Every structure is written in structure tokens, then in C-alpha cells.
Amino acid sequence: MLKGYFSAISEGKDTTVIYVWDVYDPSGNRLHRINGQMKAPSVNSAAGAGADSWKGVSPATMQAIADQTIDQFAAFLGGKAG
């Protein structure tokens, strides 16, 4: 099972998404943690200070995070199998 957490922080004209995924076994024990962050230009000028930072996150940024997550998850699973 995967359980994920996300935060978005606006920094000037950029938005940073911080992500954490915990990998659990069926008993609920955490086996592995995948984490990282991605900084990208904000897609909405209204996403500045005091606004909802998520408005500045593009679908492409979230797709890139998903791609990185799957790559890291596959590497973890590959390492467990050996």
C-alpha cells in the first residue's frame, strides 16, 4: 500500500511541490519512503504570496512527480525481489 502527502509552496514566480510516499506492508508496517520536491514556474500569477499555492501547480509538474515516484517505487520493488 502507498500513502502519500503533498505540500505546495509559492516562491516568487515559482511553486515547489514537496512530496512523500510511504510504502506499507499488509500489516501496516512502513517498509520504505519515497520523497522529493519539484520546483517549476507557477502557471497562475494569482498563486503568489497569501494565495492558494496549488493554483500555481501545473498538470505537467504533477505528471513529472508521478513519473519520478513510479520510477523510485519500481526500483524499490526490484531491489526487494533480489
What's the pLDDT tens digit per position in 71-81? 999 999 998 65
Give the whole-angstrom CA distance, residue 40 versus residue 68: 15
Is 0.85 topped by the overall pTM? no
Chain centre to alpha carbon of residue 41: 16
pLDDT at 59: 96
Taking only the tens place, the pLDDT of each residue in 20-73 is 999 999 999 999 999 999 999 999 765 455 568 999 999 999 999 999 999 999
pLDDT at 50: 58
Task: Report the Cα–Cα distance between both ends of the chain, in Å, rounded.
Answer: 20
Within 10 A of 10 (CB to CB), how many other CB atoms are there? 21
